[in-house]
A and B are shown apart, each in its own frame.
Chain A
Amino acid sequence: GQQVMQIPQYQHVQEGEDFTTYCNSSTTLSNIQWYKQRPGGHPVFLIQLVKSGEVKKQKRLTFQFGEAKKNSSLHITATQTTDVGTYFCALGGSQGNLIFGKGTKLSVKP
């Protein structure tokens, strides 16, 4: 079945540095979602992308969907300690479920 690969698996940054995580697929995606999970918490929906080349921004977060709809990225500008957590991309499955990547765990050193 469809799956997505996320890189990197871990990222350690100094507070104020930028951070990017990438989500890649070998097949064309109809949609991609991004979720954030704080340590000990549950996944929280961030954004959905459906259009080729789409770019969406939420404050310091920028989400992109590739032109070929086979990849997506999440970029955080000037990280803060509140950005700590695991960021997942997820594609929508035929059962209405989410198919998650394995996530990128972000740690931020103050």
Chain B
Amino acid sequence: DAGITQSPRHKVTETGTPVTLRCHQTENHRYMYWYRQDPGHGLRLIHYSYGVKDTDKGEVSDGYSVSRSKTEDFLLTLESATSSQTSVYFCAISKTGPLSYEQYFGPGTRLTVT
């Protein structure tokens, strides 16, 4: 694949707790994305990054924040988890630029908020 790892792979947390998901890549690609996947909705963009400390919001960004202090790491934080944030979260990278839609996905994190 593209050297993308996500951690943790599975997490169960309680409503109201903060949660941070990590995406790590080994190839120093500039563009990284966070998607969530829910039944009946396909995958939807949460946030994306086009470089260190450069991030922007996607379609479903409410309740989420991101940070990118190093090229290789893109962190997704749920400030106060809610049951509606129970989902599978995928990180993706673009190898060839912002309008390259050939994206490579990490293995995903399954998050359950109880």
Contacts and interface: CB of A to CB of B under 8 A. Distances in A.
Interface of A: 1, 31, 33, 41-45, 48, 88, 90-93, 95-103
B63 interface: no
B101 A98 contact: yes
A44 B31 CA distance: 17
Given A42-B106, A95-B56, A31 B101 contact: yes
Contacts of A91: 101
A45 B105 CA distance: 9
Contact of B45 (A48, A88, A95): A95
B41 A102 contact: yes
Nearest to B91: A42
Contacts, number: 61
B64 interface: no
A100 B102 contact: no
5 contacts: A33-B101, A41-B107, A98-B103, A100-B43, A102-B42
A98 B31 CA distance: 13
A96 B34 CA distance: 12
A96 to B, nearest CB: 4
Nearest to A90: B101
A96 B99 contact: yes
B58 interface: yes
A32 B90 CA distance: 20
Given A43-B43, A43-B90, A96 B48 contact: yes
Given A42-B90, A48-B101, A98-B103, A88 B42 contact: yes
Interface residues of B, number: 29
Given A45-B102, A48-B102, A96-B94, A102 B108 contact: no
B44 interface: yes
Contacts of A93: 45
A8 to B, nearest CB: 14
Contact of A43 (B40, B50, B105): B105
A86 to B, nearest CB: 9
Contact of A42 (B40, B99, B108): B108
Given A97-B45, A101-B42, A92 B108 contact: no
